[in-house]
Amino acid sequence: MGNVAVVGAQWGDEGKGKIVDWLSSRADVVVRFQGGHNAGHTLVVDDVVYKLSLLPAGVVRGGKLSVIGNGVVIDPWALLDEIETVAAKGVVVGPETLAIAENVCLILPIHRELDQARETARGGAKLGTTGRGIGPAYEDKVGRRAIRLCDLRDVETLRPRLGELLLHHNALRRGFGMEDARAETLESDLLAVAPRLLPFAAPVWRLLDRARHARKRILYEGAQGAMLDIDHGTYPFVTSSNTVAGQAAAGAGVGPGTIGYVLGITKAYTTRVGGGPFPTELEDEIGRGLGERGREFGTVTGRPRRCGWFDAVLVRQAVKIGGIRGIALTKLDVLDGMSELRVCTGYRDGEGGPLDHIPSAAADQARVEPVYETLDGWQESTRGARSWADLPATAVKYIRRIEELIEAPVAMLSTSPEREDTILVHDPFAD
């Protein structure tokens, strides 16, 4: 079909930005289909670093149409700031290169304030949200009281919508000891940015349908990872949207049959930001070493990521849930110089019994213990390798064992943040 969906197969931060950027050279349209500016992609192009949170990775390549689908929630001010930031680096973003679904829901200052108030009230039981209002914005979407981009076209539509929204939010704000939000202030702020946002608004579903009929190649770009999925992740330590490939259809306004190849992104080890279970976490010198060599700090928050061994159980589950046909394995070079490596091949439950998946209940997740297999490491450098012949034999053996355990082939291999340091085994667009 020539259409590819790229999704994370761990807890996010797998290196999707580079892979999407690399694949976008083969695509005509790049679509972001879920999440908000709580997600971040770091791209390195000709030694220029781009940190994107809402803009699809395709914006840094000329001649591509970038699309923000209806499944995303948008902070208007954050988006405009991001557009200005990339413009300062020579990337021009205009209505001819970026389309935003007119029915996309907006993140307002009241969402951010509520998000932060809730995290503060949780004390030591924080979920680890970014505090950017994504969760409350999705709540309002499901509660049918959200403000959508199309609402900014008509103040007579916007005003009663804001009144309904604040009826809900001000009740919550009083419970947290916060002052009531004023509809007049929100209305004024939104109408001020409307002229800058509305030129991007479009019926995205129709644009994508026309692109498909014109046999354009479409790349669907996911954010976060499968284990942060609101339904299938390590609940409640998850994000507020569906992160698996099935959401690409609903979040962009296309039929599920139009999604062709699903490429899952996974690191050669495992990381996680924030709270929640992490069976293979290493709170020792090895874990700290992985974090230092891999520069494991959140693109959005700057928080250090927790690091651990590769968890094949977790990734295999993501493969099954997400319909992943192939894996892009990233950051292999971070493992260079290690004498031995461990891979989680199974779990033990709280009573010591075998377990081949991550259980749904939070209490059961917390009791999971990893079962490891030890593999030889390698001393040679894999950084910058662009062919299998450049890889040490033990590195190839490590990759082949991962393929066996996760029951999916490695379609791509990334050996540095640089765009061209990529080994292509199978071109997803070839299917």
Known catalytic membership, residue 41: yes
Report how far apart the first and last C-alpha atoms of the chain are (Å, whole number).
6
Q: What are phi and psi of 99, to 5 degrees?
A: -120, 135
Indicate the helix (H) or strand (E) that contains 159.
helix 155-175
Residue 97: what are its φ and ψ, rounded to 5°?
-115, -15
- 43 vs 418: CA distance, rounded Å: 8
- How many other CB atoms sit within 10 Å of the CB of residue 65? 21
Question: Kindly report the CA angle at 191 between 251 and 159, in degrees rounded to 5?
Answer: 85
Q: What angle do CA 157, 158, 163 make, to 5 degrees?
A: 110
Q: How far is CA 208 from CA 1, 43, 82, 92, in A?
A: 14, 25, 24, 22
Distance CA 19, CA 304 (A): 22
Q: Give dist(CA 48, CA 57) in Å, integer.
A: 14
Q: Determine the distance from the C-alpha atom of residue 89 to the mean position of all C-alpha atoms in its chain, rounded to a whole number.
A: 23
**196: which residues sit within 8 A by CB, 6+ positions away?**
80
C-alpha span between 54 and 260 (Å, rounded): 24
Distances (CA, A) of 272 to 17, 122, 213: 17, 20, 40
- Which two three-digit tokens encode residue 197? 């946002």
Amino acid letter at 338?
Answer: M
Q: How far is CA 271 from CA 13, 142, 224, 307, in A?
A: 8, 30, 12, 4
- Among 13, 21, 140, 311, the active-site one is 13
Fill in the DSSP letter of residue 314.
Answer: H
CB 369 within 8 A of CB 332: no
Residue 424: both structure tokens together:
């292509």
Number of CB atoms found within 10 A of residue 247's CB: 24
- Residue 168 is a catalytic residue: no
341 forms bridges with which residues in the sheet? Answer: 375
Catalytic residue from among 21, 37, 41, 232 = 41
Q: Strand pairing partners for 220?
A: 5, 31
Q: Which residues are catalytic?
A: 13, 41
